[in-house]
Amino acid sequence: MNIYKSLNEITKYIDENLEEKINYEDLAKFLGVNVYTMQRLFTMLTNISLAEYIRKRRLSNAGFDLYEGKEKIIDIALKYQYENATSFSRAFEKFHGIKPSLVNKETKLKNFPRITFNEDINVTTELDYEIITMEEINLYGISIKTNNAKIRTDAPTFFQEVQKKYLNKYGDINYGMTTYDMEREETQKYYCLYDKKIDEFEHIKIPSSKWLRFRINSQDAKDIQEITCKFYEEFLPSTKYNLKEIPELEYYHDNITDFLVAIY
């Protein structure tokens, strides 16, 4: 399967159905994976969440419709799946920088084009991995709020701050973990976690699961981020693994890092 051809089929399908309710299950079928895996792949390969992509494509088309002046604002709002004119107007102004009621033939509007992928990309990188099973893990730690754009700098900075503050009291940090929002696309928090009970910290329960384990002979943030990117950009698109809705883990031990991804 050419993953990039399938992704082009997804963005084509979205464009053909912008005026309809788009079912994520239908999109996942193009890749032959579950919805969660499809969303994570799309976000990591495009640097934009699927929900945000669909929203911007709709608002881009809505701008053209308003420019043509053939439809009422409420009709355009409903056409692009907004519940009412108020929510549409708010989203439209945020995207285009102008209220829809003020659009005319002289207005300059934004265009957010359909994303297309190069179908000739060849993946040559090899990543060694193991499939392991781990029983339930009880972890304790603290977190920082972050997002897709800031996680690369927020995570290592926060890790160093926590390590410095609690090293003498609790020892080395055992795990790092990234969590996502309800739509499972936007990074929400980064956690530093310990495998010992610490009453002052949040209790995180990681359920028993099967995991992909990628061993990194380093605990340097750049090395970990490099493997994470290769996993999403090269490894996962070329496999049929379905991700579980469990955050990825970084397990730090013996001067190495295990990058752990839960799968079915």
Place of tokens 């792949």: 41
Domain co-membership, 147 together with 259: yes
Contacts of 7 (CB under 8 A, 6+ apart): 30, 31, 41, 42, 45, 117
Domain co-membership, 93 together with 156: no
Question: What pLDDT is recorded for position 48?
Answer: 87
Q: Looking at the whole model, is its pTM more than 0.85?
A: no
Q: Among 54, 83, 102, which residue terminates a domain?
A: 102
Domain co-membership, 25 together with 92: yes
Distance CA 178, CA 90 (A): 31
Domain that holds residue 98: 3-102
Question: What pLDDT is recorded for position 107?
Answer: 85
At 212, the pLDDT band (50, 70, 90 cuts) reads very high
* Residue 233 lies inside a defined structural domain of this protein: yes
Domain co-membership, 75 together with 137: no
Domain co-membership, 96 together with 178: no
CATH number for the domain including 141? 3.20.80.10
Percent of the chain, pLDDT > 70?
96
Distance CA 12, CA 88 (A): 24
Domains identified in the chain, total number? 2
* 24-33, 175-184, 220-229: segment of lowest average pLDDT: 175-184
Domain co-membership, 137 together with 186: yes
Question: What pLDDT is recorded for position 184?
Answer: 54
Q: Among 102, 122, 141, which residue terminates a domain?
A: 102
